[in-house]
Amino acid sequence: IEPFEKFDVADYLDSPEIVAVYLSESFAEANSALIAEALRTAARANGMAEVASRAGLARESLYKALRPGSQPRLETILKVIGALGFKLVVQPVPDGDKLKEENDHVDSVSSD
């Protein structure tokens, strides 16, 4: 039996459009650990040293800021996004999603 090759998402982040979708989906989950992981993966796909340099950070600082379990500061997130060639955009949530989120919040508060 031949062993499977290790799957690395970074290998597939080979265009700005794909990276944008990947990061957007990660941010849509509103999970800081997932966002840090997605930023780390996108930075690896583009070269950590290059992204760190463009972000005005030391490479070691970038690794530390985006390591598993980290809680990167908004300033760092924005620097990395900019270094990757993107900007953060806010858009309205469709009414159906908004209602679901409100109901989920009510359910989680009432079940505590």
pLDDT confidence of residue 15: 97
pLDDT tier for residue 105 given thresholds of 50, 70 and 90: low
pLDDT digits 0-9 by tens, 47-85: 999 999 999 999 999 999 999 998 899 999 999 999 999
pLDDT confidence of residue 109: 58
- Listed in sequence order, the DSSP H helices in 56-94 are 59-65, 74-83
- Listed in sequence order, the DSSP H helices in the chain are 16-28, 32-46, 48-55, 59-65, 74-83, 95-110
pLDDT digits 0-9 by tens, 2-44: 888 899 999 999 999 999 999 999 999 999 999 999 999 999 9
